[in-house]
Structure 1
Amino acid sequence: MTTPPRISLSGTNYEIGYNHGSSLRVQIARQIESYYEMFQNSSKLDREGVHRRAREYEATILKLVPHLHQEIVGIAEGAGVDVLDIVALNVRSEIVLGEFQDGCTSISWKVVGEDGKSIQYLAQNWDWVRPVQQNLALVEIEQEGKPTIKMVTEAGIVGKIGYNSHSVGVLLNALRASPTDTSKLPIHVLLRLCLESRTASEALSQIEKYGAASAQHILLGDLSGAQCLELSPIRNHCIYPKDNNFLAHTNHPIENTAIKEPSEFPGSKERLGRTHEIVETIGPKNLSPHRLRETIFNDGKNGNFSICASENACKPKWIRIMTLFNIVICLKEGSEPTAEVVFYNDSAAWIDPKNVLLL
Structure 2
Amino acid sequence: MTTIPRISLSGTNYEIGYSHGSSLKAQIARQIEFYYGMFQYSSKLDREGVHSRARDYEATILKLVPNLHQEIVGIAEGAEVDVLDIVALNVRSEIALGEFQDGCTSLSWKVTGEDGKTVQYLAQNWDWVRPVQQNLALVEIQQAEKPTIKMVTEAGIIGKIGYNSASVGVLLNALRAPPTDTTKLPVHVLLRLCLESRTAAEALSQIEKYGAASAQHILLADLSGAQCLELSPIKHHYIYPNSDNFLAHTNHPIENIAIMEPSQFPGSKERLERTYKLVETMSSKNISTKQLREMIFADGENGNFGICAPEDMCKPKWFRTMTLFNIVTCLKDGEPTAEVVFYNGSTDWIDPQNVVTL
**TM-score, shorter chain, exceeding 0.5:** yes
Shift in Å, 1:19: 0.3
Shift in Å, 1:248: 0.2
User: Can you list the C-alpha shifts for 1:329-350, whole angstroms capped at 9, x where unaligned?
Assistant: 0011x32000000000111211
Task: Name 2:331's counterpart in structure 1.
Answer: 331
Q: 1:63-82 counterparts in 2 under 5 A?
A: 63-82=63-82
Shift in Å, 1:115: 3.8
Alpha-carbon separation, structure 2, partners of 1:102 and 1:303:
15
User: Can you list the C-alpha shifts for 1:29-88, whole angstroms capped at 9, x where unaligned?
Assistant: 000000000001111110000000000000000000000000000000000000000000
Alpha-carbon separation, structure 1, partners of 2:115 and 2:288:
14
Q: 1:231-242 counterparts in 2 under 5 A?
A: 231-242=231-242
Task: Name 1:16's counterpart in structure 2.
Answer: 16
* Residue type at the aligned position of 1:202: E
Q: 1:216 to 1:264 in 2, by over 3 A?
A: same
Asked if structure 1 preserves the Cα contact closer than 8 Å seen for 2:120 and 2:331, the reply is yes
Alpha-carbon separation, structure 1, partners of 2:122 and 2:42:
32
Alpha-carbon separation, structure 2, partners of 1:314 and 1:189:
33
User: Is residue 353 of structure 2 the alignment partner of residue 357 of structure 1?
Assistant: no
* Residue type at the aligned position of 1:299: D
Task: Name 2:216's counterpart in structure 1.
Answer: 216
Shift in Å, 1:285: 2.2
> Gaps (5+ residues) in structure 2?
none
User: Is residue 171 of structure 2 the alignment partner of residue 171 of structure 1?
Assistant: yes
* Residue type at the aligned position of 2:232: S
Q: 1:17-96 counterparts in 2 under 5 A?
A: 17-96=17-96
Q: 1:1-359 counterparts in 2 under 5 A?
A: 1-332=1-332, 334-359=333-358
Asked if structure 1 preserves the Cα contact closer than 8 Å seen for 2:323 and 2:343, the reply is yes
Alpha-carbon separation, structure 1, partners of 2:114 and 2:286:
8
| Matched residue SS, 1:208 | helix
Alpha-carbon separation, structure 2, partners of 1:114 and 1:142:
30
User: Can you list the C-alpha shifts for 1:243-279, whole angstroms capped at 9, x where unaligned?
Assistant: 0000000000000010000000000000000000000
Alpha-carbon separation, structure 1, partners of 2:212 and 2:229:
11
Shift in Å, 1:117: 1.8
Q: TM-score with structure 1 length normalisation?
A: 0.99
| Matched residue SS, 1:182 | coil
* Residue type at the aligned position of 1:14: Y
* Residue type at the aligned position of 2:132: V
Asked if structure 1 preserves the Cα contact closer than 8 Å seen for 2:116 and 2:286, the reply is no
Q: How many residues align?
A: 358
Percent of matched pairs sharing the same residue: 82
Alpha-carbon separation, structure 2, partners of 1:315 and 1:176:
18
| Matched residue SS, 1:145 | coil
Shift in Å, 1:114: 4.5
* Residue type at the aligned position of 2:233: P
Shift in Å, 1:209: 0.2
Bigger mean CA deviation after superposition, 133-142 or 306-315? 306-315
Asked if structure 1 preserves the Cα contact closer than 8 Å seen for 2:327 and 2:338, the reply is yes
Give RMSD over aligned pairs: 0.7
Q: TM-score with structure 2 length normalisation?
A: 0.99
